Amino acid sequence: MDDAVGEVEALAARDGVVVAVGTNGEIDAYRGSETRVIDLEGRLATPGFTEGHGHFTGIGRSLLNIDLRAARSWDEVVEIIRAEAAEREPGDWILGWGWHQEKWDTPVAPAVEGYPVHDALSAAVPDNPVLLKHAAGSHAGIVNARVLDIAGIDDSTPDPPGGTILRHPDGRATGVLRETAYSLALRAYDDAMDRLDNVELERFARREIELANEECLTKGVTTMHDAGSSFDDVERFRRMYDEGRLDVRLWVMLNESNEELAKKMASFRTVGAAGGHLTVRAIKRVADGALGTHGAWLLEPYEDHDSVGLPTTPVESLRETARLAREHDYQLCIHAIGDRANREVLDVFEEAYAGDADLRWRIEHAQHLSLDDIPRFGELGVIASMQGVHCTSDAPWVPRRLGDRRAEEGAYVWRKLMESGATIVNGTDAPVEDVDPIANFISTVTRRDRHGNVFYGDQAMTRMESLASMTTNAAYAAFEEDTQGKLIPGMLADIVVLSQDILTVDENALAATRVEHTIVGGKLLYSAE
């Protein structure tokens, strides 16, 4: 990612830092008796990916809710939950989602109305309450005997009004609950969560972080720009780094009120703590809602709704946050999706910058912009923190919301922003989308949605631009360009090895790219099977 160096054959790293790059022959000289050598066999190594806008603990939380969509039979579902229970404490609730009996290869037996019954699940997992949501509706699922017990559902419980306790012909509950009957199980879960003590809450919070860490490493993510954590989260991250249980580098945006920030932000500011892993020098605020829910704040009404959306935070409050950010030397990152929200935030930033060129404040999403505002990113030096994969996810319905003209002029306009001189950092907003840099890379270079349609392809990035948006640009957007984003001597040895060259392989083959190795600070932390 450095023009002066270009592409090389090999690199050497020591003590977590790249010490040399060059030909295989040149780098051979760095080989010692203790050196670990990884032969790439022609594969591509790039700087480790930075996820430019993700919710770190949210990723862990979503992974605790087990995805059962890929299961091919009820037996497989039971097996997945049995394996999960082995990892958990007895009594912990296990949640899953996405099972569908019609999608299984083997018809389920025994069955009632085609649905599985809880017996095998209850036998496999007797000590943990299990609640598995059905794929078709948000309000149906199957639970094990433990949940029936806790929710007080037995053979003589009548169906609640508006719900069904699905039963065997002899009246025994199958474990399948519909509508208000399902609510009984959900209420039992909520009650259990309300009763957790601080020790248990801490255990869950740490588990979420461990799962998020593992997920990031698996996907080749070595740094995450964490889009909103609390002071408590930050303290927990720090403890887990100290204990060696957290590897991914975190650049954290604090998500706290102005009042709390004013009290604590000075003492929480830190750059490169925990051996270069933890940086806290940014604040997250939210100016508006989302386009999908007509919540994004627009200059003109929606095409399909008689409103302009709305601000979620008074602009005056954002101005106060800007003042605090300047006072304590923090970056300010404000979520803005609609063109009105983006304009208001740019106004707040312009006032706060007061001619000062290098604050690197960021607009998170910058999804829909007025033509008049696009050049302001480059002129002011405001970072556009965008999500390539949101463009391709949203493409099928964005023109309905905005109309074709506005969608073409200002929605996800990466190239127009780059041409204005703006820096774009790319992310996935995980867990909203999968924290997968390859999928995001593909969206950014193709703008092709799931139906195969291209969303205003003239705004696509080149492959190098896309890679830069996850490496060098991301480092710049975090004031970390002296240590991250390039593989040249002096930089951190954060490296991802990919199964093929994503810069040259045929576009149709990109999706087959696998992460082979993930290295953080010279430590090999993930390798594909």
Contact code string over 118-157 relative to Zn ion, x by CB under 5 A? ----------------------------------------
The closest alpha carbon to 147, from 131, 133, 160, 136, belongs to: 131
Give least dist CB 227 to Zn ion, A. Answer: 4
Three-state SS at 165: strand
Residue closer to Zn ion (CB basis): 335 or 448: 335
| Residue with smaller CB distance to Zn ion, 53 or 134 | 53
H helix runs in 243-370, sequence order: 258-268, 273-276, 315-328, 339-353
Whole-number minimum distance, CB 337 to Zn ion, in Å?
A: 10
Residue numbers 398-457 binding Zn ion by CB under 5 A: 429
Query: How far apart are CB 213 and Zn ion at their closest, in Å?
Result: 19
For residues 383 and 477, is the Cβ–Cβ distance under 8 A? yes
User: In a 3-state reduction of DSSP, which class is residue 52?
Assistant: strand
Q: Least distance from C-beta 440 to Zn ion, angstroms?
A: 14
Residue 496 near residue 222, CB atoms below 8 Å: yes
Q: How far is the CB of 56 from Zn ion (least distance, A)?
A: 11
Distance CA 145, CA 151 (A): 10
Positive or negative CA dihedral for 30, 485, 268, 215?
negative
For helices 198-218 and 231-242, the axis angle rounded to 10 degrees is: 70
Question: Whole-angstrom Cα distance, residue 184 to residue 298?
Answer: 41
Q: Segment contacting Zn ion (CB under 5 A): 194-202, 225-233, 439-447, 471-479? A: 225-233
Q: What is the largest CA-CA distance in the chain?
A: 78
Taking only Cα atoms into account, the Rg of the chain, rounded to an integer number of angstroms, comes to: 25
**Cβ nearer to Zn ion, comparing 142 with 333:** 333
Of the pair 364, 516, the CB lying nearest Zn ion is at 364
- Decide whether 54 or 98 has the Cβ nearer to Zn ion: 54
Toward Zn ion, which CB reaches closer, 46 or 385?
A: 385
Q: How far is the CB of 321 from Zn ion (least distance, A)?
A: 17
Positions in 341-360 near Zn ion (CB under 5 A): none
Closer to Zn ion by Cβ: residue 120 or 287: 287
- DSSP structure class, residue 29: T
Binding segment for Zn ion (CB under 5 A), chosen from 124-132, 226-234, 489-497, 503-511, is 226-234
> Among 77-85, 223-231, 244-252, 485-493, which window interacts with Zn ion (CB under 5 A)?
223-231
CA atoms of 163 and 157, how far apart (whole Å)? 12
Shortest distance, CB of residue 390 to Zn ion, whole angstroms? 10
The Cα 492–Cα 146 span in angstroms is 49
Alpha-carbon distance of 340 to 368, in angstroms, equals 9
CA distance 147 to 159: 16
**Shortest distance in whole angstroms from residue 475 CB to Zn ion:** 20
For residue 416, CA distances in Å to 216, 251, 378, 406 come to: 30, 27, 10, 14
User: Judged by CB, which is closer to Zn ion: 120, or 227?
Assistant: 227
What's the min distance (Å) between Cβ of 53 and Zn ion?
6
Q: Which is nearer to Zn ion, 130 or 227 (CB)?
A: 227
Tokens of 317: 């409050």
What are the DSSP calls for 224-265, one per residue?
EEEEEE-HHHHHHHHHHHHTT---SEEEEEE---HHHHHHHH
Q: Choose between 429 and 436: whose C-beta lies nearer to Zn ion.
A: 429
Task: Select from 22-30, 64-72, 220-228, 474-482 the region that touches Zn ion (CB under 5 A).
Answer: 220-228
Shortest Å distance, C-beta 215 to Zn ion: 16
From 82-90, 180-188, 221-229, 272-280, span contacting Zn ion (CB under 5 A):
221-229
Comparison of 227 and 359: residue with beta carbon closer to Zn ion: 227
CB 429 → Zn ion: shortest distance, Å?
Answer: 4
Please check whether residue 48 is in contact with residue 496, taking contact to mean a CB–CB distance below 8 angstroms.
yes
If the CB atoms of residues 188 and 248 are measured against Zn ion, the closer one turns out to be 248
Question: How far, in Å, CA of 249 to CA of 415, rounded?
Answer: 29
Interatomic CA distance for residues 28 and 136, integer angstroms:
57
| Binding segment (CB under 5 A) for Zn ion, from list 72-80, 222-230, 273-281, 337-345 | 222-230
Is 287 near Zn ion (CB under 5 A)?
A: no
Q: How far apart are CA 447 and CA 457, in angstroms?
A: 6
Number of residues that bind Zn ion (CB under 5 A): 2
Tell me how far, at minimum, the Cβ of 229 lies from Zn ion, in Å.
12
Q: Shortest approach of Zn ion to residue 343 CB, angstroms? A: 20
**Rounded distance between C-alpha atoms, residue 179 and residue 134, angstroms:** 11
CA distance readout (Å), 120 to 92, 150, 485: 19, 18, 50
Binding span for Zn ion by CB under 5 A among 120-128, 219-227, 443-451, 489-497: 219-227
By CB under 5 A, name the one of 140, 227, 250, 492 that touches Zn ion: 227
Q: From CA 250, how far away is CA 224, in angstroms rounded?
A: 5
Residue (288 or 429) nearer to Zn ion, CB: 429
Coil/strand/helix, residue 284: strand
Write out the residues near Zn ion by the rule CB under 5 A.
227, 429
